[in-house]
Homo-oligomer: A and B are copies of this chain.
Amino acid sequence: MLYFESDYTEGAHPAVLRRLTETNLVTVKSYGADEFSAAAERKIRAACNAPQADVVFLTGGTQTNLVVISALLRSHEGVIAAETGHINAHEAGAIEYTGHKVLTLPEHEGKLDAAEVGAYCRAFYADETREHMVFPGMVYISHPTEYGTLYTKAELAALFDVCREYGMTLYMDGARLGYGLMSDQSDLTLPDIAALCDVFYIGGTKVGALCGEAVVFPNGKPLHFLTTVKQHGALLAKGRVVGVQFDALFTDGLYFKISRHAVEAANALKAVFLEKGYELFLDSPTNQQFVILPNEVLARLKRDVAFSVWQPLDAHRTVTRFVTSWATDPASITQVSQLL
């Protein structure tokens, strides 16, 4: 079987696991006060060119979203997201469970449009009944998006500006951030993101870690954030578990190297499909590829290749998703080619 189902079907990148093994018997303080977490924080600050940043390590994406969003919103506020935003569609109502509404706007290949966000806020503040409505307190974006697409620096800056204008925080869900940063089409660097977001996270689970996300607050974390983390059951007793992994990922550029590997594999896979005459649903520049397959091809391919059925396109064709990762074997792409 060839695996392109998701970027979390293997364990950790071997170097990450090696680092866990090397440090395993060192006795350290718990709850994230360990030296490995501190080292990882230093390295992430440096990579972000954000010397004042606080970095907090959490375990998974939905957990990170709910902890960060509920910590930053006040009770009368909600969070703006694209309709396809992960928090709106695939987190089982985790944000609403914390008491906050997800305010949806149309998506454009998975992205929010800053002008539409501005128009929404303008209309909101012009509405005389606004005190009976949920105030927009935050803008949530994912980068890459659920469709693998990327914000340009200009687009991100425009969102940042509209957030400043209407007193909202800008939060980037970076579950696959590495795959975005290393895309050929990316014009955003980590320091750019740290300068243009109030908070974002660098995804580990989908980029080489067993589990773990690094939340970056470029201008410092909220008061008593550790207590908030604990309250959500998100504080690991052995904080080292995530700290060590990010220490490894941010040593010698590992995070970027393995992300680049996945992007190159995705590019190669895309080339294979195009060459064989298949169409793309949209042109993703990152590790998720959305390919339109005739249903009979889909059925045949399923026998040897694991991938996702995204949505039906019409009676004969289906949108499918193929995902590469740090673990993708380049040989498997050649094999897909032979199967088409």
Show the binding face of A for B, using Cβ within 8 Å: 1, 3, 6, 8-12, 14, 17, 20-21, 23-30, 59-67, 70-71, 74-76, 78, 89-94, 96-102, 104, 129, 131-135, 205-206, 210-211, 223-224, 226-228, 230-238, 240-241, 306, 327
Contacts and interface: CB of A to CB of B under 8 A. Distances in A.
B131 A233 contact: no
**Among A17, A96, A100, A327, residue most surrounded by chain B Cβ atoms (within 10 Å):** A96
Given A62-B230, A238-B210, A134 B93 contact: yes
A24 B14 contact: yes
A99 to B, nearest CB: 5
Q: Which 9 A-B residue pairings sit nearest by Cβ, starting from the closest? A: A63-B233, A11-B24, A92-B230, A76-B227, A93-B134, A92-B231, A93-B101, A8-B237, A96-B101
A17 B327 CA distance: 20
A76 B94 contact: no
Nearest to A29: B9
Nearest to A3: B27
B9 A90 contact: no
A9 B28 contact: yes
A85 to B, nearest CB: 13
B24 A232 contact: no
A231 B10 contact: no
B76 A228 contact: yes
Given A92-B76, A237-B61, A17 B21 contact: yes
Contact of A11 (B14, B23, B71): B23
Contacts of A1: 27
Contacts of A234: 63, 233
A62 B96 contact: no
A241 B315 CA distance: 40
Given A210-B238, A238-B205, A93 B78 contact: yes
**Among A29, A98, A101, residue most surrounded by chain B Cβ atoms (within 10 Å):** A101
A96 B95 CA distance: 9
B231 A76 contact: yes
A28 B10 CA distance: 7
B17 A62 contact: no
A12 B65 CA distance: 28
Given A20-B11, A29-B9, A30-B8, A236 B96 contact: no
A308 B90 CA distance: 38
B233 A60 contact: yes
24 contacts: A1-B27, A3-B27, A11-B20, A11-B25, A11-B238, A17-B20, A27-B327, A62-B233, A64-B233, A74-B224, A78-B96, A89-B133, A90-B129, A90-B133, A91-B233, A92-B133, A93-B99, A94-B230, A94-B233, A101-B102, A131-B224, A131-B226, A232-B232, A232-B233
A132 B61 CA distance: 13
**Among A20, A25, A29, A75, residue most surrounded by chain B Cβ atoms (within 10 Å):** A75
